[in-house]
Amino acid sequence: MAWHAGNYTLSPGVSTRIFYWWGDNHGVQYAEPMQLLSNDPPPLGAGSPLKVTAQGTIRNTDGYSVTYFLDVTNEGPGVWNFAIIGFGDIRTGV
């Protein structure tokens, strides 16, 4: 099942940590940045300078639920607008 964790903007050379959660433990999740369709340079197809430098989970204080995180860095020369999209374990479809 695909999901969306919000829209973001990163200036050149800037990094951010993005958190997302559902209030329980969804198991293995995969996420990646995807450029938003816009008229902002650079144009689509130019090759994304957005790099995921870390990702993982943090167990919440309830002992059951987890918060997922993703570190993204803009290594390009321009401002990038992007969304975080993802999906669950591709082996199970959840």
**Residue whose C-alpha is closest to residue 59's, from 46, 71, 51, 68:** 68
* pLDDT for the residue numbered 65: 84
* pLDDT for the residue numbered 38: 47
**pTM (predicted TM-score):** 0.71
Cis peptide before 42 (omega within 30 of 0): yes
Residue 94 lies in a domain: no
Residue 93 lies in a domain: no
- Please tell me the total count of domains within the chain: 1
Residue 84 lies in a domain: yes
- Give residue 50's domain range: 2-88
Which percentage of the chain shows pLDDT scores above 70? 69
Residue 68 lies in a domain: yes
Higher-scoring residue by pLDDT: 28, 62: 62
Mean pLDDT along residues 47-69: 84
Residue 39 lies in a domain: yes
Question: If 0-12 CB within 10 Å is exposed, 13-18 middle and 19+ buried, where does residue 63 land?
Answer: exposed
**pLDDT over threshold 80, residue 42:** no
Give the length of the chain. 94
> Sorting pLDDT into bands at 50, 70 and 90, what band is 11?
very high
